[in-house]
């Protein structure tokens, strides 16, 4: 038989404090409640590029954050437009 009791546990958690666009340097501080923080974070994308063996950047992994404005500027430079799929 197991008997449980409620206790308050003090726990240290890591919260994302801000996001900075690697391209333009724009920084957004993520403050407010969880919803507000989520909305602010949606203004950025994290891009990860993995280069396999034999590529020019042999076995490197690049990671950077980019704001929506810089991402749009980048995709507008494409010869062929990026694909868009509705997620909601």
> Would you tell me which residues interact with Zn ion (CB under 5 A)?
21, 23-24, 26, 67, 70
Nearer to Zn ion, 18 or 55 (CB): 18
Nearer to Zn ion, 55 or 63 (CB): 63
Closest distance to Zn ion from the beta carbon of 68 (Å): 8
Closest distance to Zn ion from the beta carbon of 24 (Å): 3
- Any long-range contacts for 18-23 (C-beta under 8 Å, 24+ apart)? 19/43, 19/44, 19/65, 20/65, 21/65, 21/66, 21/67, 21/70, 22/64, 22/65, 22/66, 23/64, 23/66, 23/67, 23/70, 23/74
Nearer to Zn ion, 55 or 75 (CB): 75
Residue 53: DSSP 8-state: T
Closest distance to Zn ion from the beta carbon of 2 (Å): 53
């Amino acid at each position: 038989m197991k008997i449980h009791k409620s206790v308050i546990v003090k726990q240290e958690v890591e919260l994302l404090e801000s996001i900075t666009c690697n391209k333009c340097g724009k920084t957004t501080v993520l403050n407010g409640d969880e919803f507000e923080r989520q909305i602010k974070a949606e203004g950025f994308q994290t891009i990860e590029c993995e280069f396999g063996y034999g590529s020019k950047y042999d076995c490197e992994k690049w990671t950077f954050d980019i704001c929506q404005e810089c991402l749009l500027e980048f995709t507008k430079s494409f010869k062929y437009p990026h694909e868009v799929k509705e997620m909601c």
